[in-house]
Amino acid sequence: MIKAQSYRDLEIFILAKELAVKVHKMTLEALPKFEMYEEGSQIRRSSKSIVSNIVEGFGRRRYKNEFIQFLTYSVASCDETKVHLEMLQETGSLKKDIFEDLFPGYEELGAKLFNFRNAVIRGHHAS
């Protein structure tokens, strides 16, 4: 089923963490001051939630339903992060080039999370 020895071995963890760091830096460097505490705080939390739910789920992988639940939370947080990026870009608070740098990464991550979760579900039903 899952051959990773650590959550650090998971491609979804590596990508999610990389993107969360980029989002964190972006909110401190590229957003207007008035967005830094409101929308900036929201997107930092949602992007970091993806990472933390992967880690927490992996820690509970022996309990497949809990693992699936935390992966579902990661998928939902990824969707939330994409909406925050869209809102920031559409309101003019985030420059188009920064949006175009971050958004495709979250599209890719969302697809990988969805596929990984489905593989865990299939493995759960097979056992």
CATH of residue 93: 1.20.1440.60
Predicted confidence pLDDT, tens digits, the chain (127 residues): 567 789 999 999 999 999 999 999 999 999 999 998 899 999 999 999 999 999 999 999 999 999 999 999 999 999 999 999 999 999 999 999 999 999 999 999 999 999 999 999 998 655 4
- Residue 93 domain-assigned (yes or no): yes
Q: Which domain holds residue 122?
A: 7-126
Q: Quote the pTM value.
A: 0.93
- Indicate the residue type of 124: H
- Residue 102 domain-assigned (yes or no): yes
- Residue 114 domain-assigned (yes or no): yes
Domain count for the chain: 1
